[in-house]
Chains A and B, each alone.
Chain A
């Protein structure tokens, strides 16, 4: 069966510090991978998606970036965090139909 791992679960970072969130998928190959951000009480905002290694599509211009160094690994990064980067970050995978989510990382930038 397929599983998705996302870590850390919570993170508190100072403004201006770097960020690296990692997501890995097990039990499938060549998945589509997604990063979403969810502000409190709001829907899911698509940040990046990837259909293959090294292929990244950005939906929202901002100071975040994403990379896919391996088939089942998706990384969300920032060189310098802003207060507005606080939120609930979710990784998901799909095979062009339904998508499955990790448990999310709650990021607080202070």
Chain B
């Protein structure tokens, strides 16, 4: 079983839609949860980071963590064409940082 599972998509939605991206993980020792955005041929950039169950909001982005279910989500409200990218979840525990496969997202104008 992979340590982190993420649906690779691709996911295509119209501009203005709410986007939901999800990951599951297997090791309850993981403590920190992150979402990254990666544009083509670039390094991933950190979008959001959280360490507790619940929601964390930053502008149009909301990160949600459910430690009891080992499930994390990223919601994007009022999606824009500039949000088109690959989104990767990442989970950190005991110095080890593990990524999901990434979901390729396209926002259509």
Contact = CB atoms under 8 A, between A and B. Distances in A.
Interface residues of B, number: 25
Contacts of B78: none
A70 to B, nearest CB: 18
Interface stretch (B11-19, B53-61, B66-74, B99-107): B99-107
Contact of B99 (A36, A57, A106): A36
A27 B15 CA distance: 39
A55 to B, nearest CB: 10
B102 to A, nearest CB: 5
Contacts of B99: 36, 43-44, 46
Contacts of B104: 41
Chain A interface residue number, banded:
20 to 34
Interface of A: 6, 32, 34, 36, 41-44, 46, 49, 51, 57, 88, 90, 92, 94, 96-104, 106
Interface of B: 6, 8, 32, 34, 36, 41-46, 49, 51, 88, 90, 92, 95-102, 104
